[in-house]
Structures are given as structure tokens and as C-alpha cells.
Amino acid sequence: MSWKNIAMLLESLKYNTSLYSLDLSGNHIGRNITKATELLTNRKIGNLDLSDNFLDQRSEPFVADLLKGLRIINLSYNDFIRLDNISPVLSHNEMLTSLDLSNNTNLHPEKLLRFLRGNQSLISLDLSNTNFISGILPRNLRFFSANNCHISAPNMAQTIRNGSSLTTLNIENCDIQKEKTEVISLAVMESKTLTSLNISYNPLGKSSKILLHALENNTTITHVNLGKTQIKNDEDVAHLLNNNILTSLCLYDNDFSASGGKYLCEAVLRNTTLISLNVSMCSMCGHAFVRILKSPTLLSLNMSKSGLERKEMSIIFEVLSHNNRLRELDISYNSYYNNAKDLADILRVNTTLRKLFMQHMGITTGAKIYGALTVNRTLTTLDMSDNRIPVYTPNLSKMLVKNNTLTYLDLSNNAISKDDRKIISESLVKNTTLTFFKISDRKYSYSPNVLNILRNKEYAKGFIVFTIESCCKVPPVIADIILRYIRV
């Protein structure tokens, strides 16, 4: 948005008494911050987003003046360094609950933390991708993110211990290596408040066993992300599942090829609390997934990019046909290469599955799946992008008219012709539930029939996203209709 338009917007808001949230992100306000400060005198605003606006030390005094009395502040993706002016203002803001300073890559936030030490209201702080090394967190802080920061293990352990109210800790990709794991593990085991821990993308390797033991004995943590931590022994992970409060476990991109995941799958079957499991890219065998799908508690499973072949997938679908609990399944990037009859048979009778992701599986026709979806009454999200499906079949047209539960449908990067687009557009006019629909590929070109959909005011009011990606620009007439009728 140009500064002229921003100024007009701020001028119109000057005396507004009802607006609470204002998003001015990505508008290059930096060089016009003094004028913005003059115009933005509305003290009713409680949530202000100034991310990605080229704000730096020169603009800091003016930004500080804007932050008085705000509850939620987003200053991410700017160029702050020390926060000399902002820190004192925030220390006296007794209404502040959330502060995002992530991706200020030159920022040294130690001074800010000293000022915030006595703050009683702040509950969420994001210092990801800054120069955060250590510091005592505000007393009542519950959510803290320091992803991509080079934190020493002792300092991180001290941060965990000092966070007397801390419930969520994100320390992804913080260079926590094998020799630094023990001190953090002890702090995690002793924590009485943490409920969610993300320590992914840290090269823990064999020393992960120490952390897994700590997590097994922790009595509060329910969500754990150990993705890409170089764990190679799923037997150690299996011990973690002896924990009787864990509900969500993310293990993507670890290598369990030595055992094929046999220890993990048996542990999942014994566990009585786990509802979400992500083992994408873990080199587990088909038999392990067959066992996992028999879990009495699991509601969400991500088994994408597992290198499974067609025969293994067919066996998995057979087991899935008897599963009446799973709500979300991601099987993307596994080899299937057939007409999906067995999957279609499942969709005809399944009454629990809500979200299904099957990208890049070599599916050659969607006819049977579309036919099944005309009678399915539970699936709300379906992603079949990057397959070999000719997008239009009479079954798709019929499904778009008759299905009244799907809200998200992605058929991008499949074969599509001009006639397809015309017929699909006509069918979409009669659909009343889709809020996201994507049909695009490299050869996609603009179809005038899209206008028929957008001009239907009653339909368009509920249509949040209609993606018509192409190499060419969206025609002005479509842009005008979108701005008038569609929530974007």
C-alpha cells in the first residue's frame, strides 16, 4: 500500500471508537513513521501489527510512543537493534499480553528482558531469529519462542527453571548438540508447568536418550516435537510413550530404518493417551503403519514421505477400512499409482475421517473418489494436488453440486483443460460449502466463466479463497468483484 493510501486510512481511523485490531504489516512505513505517529492517535486500538515495515533505531522513539496501552504488539521482520526507547515504555505497559520481535536479526534483547522482568501482564514473547542468548523471563510468561537462536545449554536450562509459569517452549534449531543435552533434560524433567516442548532441528543424536528419559518422567508435558533431531533408535522413543499424559508426538525426519519402526508401533498400541502422531520421513515399514492404525486412541496420523509402495499402501487401506476413530490422515508422497478404488470404498462408508492429504501419489483418475464424495458426509478437507488426475470428470461436477461438507479442496497441478474450467465453474455456482478451492497448473489461463461464480453475491459472501493461479495477472473485473463480495 502506498504511503498516501496509508495516510488516508489512518486519518479515517483517527476518531474511530470501535476498531480494536489494526494490521499495517508490509507497508514500508519506516521512513514515514513520524507522520504515522501523528495520525495514529486512536487509543481504542489494542492490537497493532507493524511487522515488515523497515523500522529501525531511527524510528524507534516514534514507535515507542505508539505502543503505550497496547495489549498485542507485532514488530517482527524489522531492523531493531537495542530497543533503548521501546523497553522502558513496555515495562510500564500493564496491559501488554503478547509481544512478537521475531526475525529482527540484529536485535540484542537482553536490555528489554531486564525491563520486562517485573512485568505482570505479559504472557507471550517471541524472540525467534534474534541474538537472544540468555535472560530471566517475565514472571507470568506462558509462551516463549527462541527458535534459531544460539543459546548455551546452561542458559537455556536456567531459562526453563526461571519460567515459573512457562507452559510452551519453542527452541527449534538452537544448535543444542549432543554434549549439551543433559543439563536441559534435567531442567525439563524438573519442570512443573511446561505442557508443550518444541526442540526440533537440534542435532541431539545418541544423547537424545537422555532427553527422552526426562520426558518419560515429566508429569506435565503433553505435546512434544522431536522432528529432525537425528534419533536413530525408535526403541528409546518407545520408552517415552510409557508416559501416560502425552497426547501429541512429532518425530518427522528421523531415521528408524534399522528396525522399521517395530518398537514404536507396539508402544503406540500400548499407549492410552496419544491422539496425534507425526512420523513423516522416518523410513518406517508398511507393517509398522498397519499396527499403528489399530491404535485405540489415535485421531491424527502423518505418514507422508515414508517410501511406501503400492502393495504396502493397499494393505494399509484395507486396515483403514476398519478404523472408525481416525480424524486426520496424511499419506502424501507415497507410491500408489492406481485408480484409488480401495480408497474410494473407504470414503463411501467412513464416518469419522475429516481431513485427508494425498499429494503426489501417482493417482491416475479421481472418478471413483469423486463418486464416493457425493455420498460422504464427514470429510471437510481434501488435498489431491500434484497427481496425474484429469481434473474434470462428470463425477467431479456431480460431487461439487451434491457434496455439502467439503470446505477445502485442492486439485492443483493436475491435468486441466479449457472445457474443464468452464464446467467446473458452472458446478461451483451451485456449491454452498467450499471456502477454499484450488485448480491451477503451469498452463492455467483465465476463464471468463469464473465471473459467474463471483457475481453470485450470496455464494461469494461465504467464499473465502478461490485460487486461479497463472502466469498472467488477474483481470481487473475479477479483482473488483473479489474486493466487493469476498472476504480475503
Confidence of residue 157 (pLDDT cuts 50, 70, 90): confident
Domains of the chain by residue range: 1-149, 343-488
Whether 453 shows a pLDDT value over 70: the answer reads no
Region 178-203: what's the mean pLDDT? 87
Please write down the long-range contacts of 481-484, taking CB distance under 8 Å and 24 or more positions apart.
Answer: 481/451, 481/454, 481/455, 482/454
- Tens digits of residue pLDDT in 281-298: 999 999 999 999 999 999
Please indicate whether residue 18 or residue 357 has the higher confidence score (pLDDT): 357
pLDDT of residue 478: 43
Region 41-51: what's the mean pLDDT? 80
Dist. CA 22–CA 10, nearest whole Å: 10
Dist. CA 190–CA 136, nearest whole Å: 18
3-class secondary structure for 351-375?
Answer: CCCCEEECCCCCCCCCHHHHHHHCC
Are 395 and 374 within 8 A, CB to CB?
yes
Dist. CA 231–CA 204, nearest whole Å: 7
pLDDT of residue 445: 35
- Tens digits of residue pLDDT in 359-406: 999 888 888 899 999 999 999 999 999 988 876 668 888 899 999 999
pLDDT of residue 179: 61
Give the strand pairing for 408-410 and 196-198: unpaired
| Residue the block writes with cell 491404535 | 295
Intrachain domains 1-149 and 343-488 with the same fold: yes
Fold classification of 1-149 (topology level): 3.80.10
pLDDT of residue 44: 74
Please indicate whether residue 355 or residue 437 has the higher confidence score (pLDDT): 355
Are 453 and 428 within 8 A, CB to CB?
yes
Confidence of residue 41 (pLDDT cuts 50, 70, 90): low
Cell numbers standing for residue 252: 518427522
Please indicate whether residue 92 or residue 449 has the higher confidence score (pLDDT): 92
Are 292 and 267 within 8 A, CB to CB?
no
Report which secondary-structure segment, H or E, holds 121.
Answer: none
pLDDT of residue 480: 43
pLDDT of residue 456: 47
Dist. CA 132–CA 151, nearest whole Å: 7
Dist. CA 248–CA 193, nearest whole Å: 17
Most confident of 107-116, 261-270, 313-322, 479-488: 261-270
Please indicate whether residue 357 or residue 110 has the higher confidence score (pLDDT): 357
Whether 235 shows a pLDDT value over 80: the answer reads yes
Are 389 and 416 within 8 A, CB to CB?
no
pLDDT of residue 470: 38
Whether 234 shows a pLDDT value over 70: the answer reads yes
Fold classification of 343-488 (topology level): 3.80.10
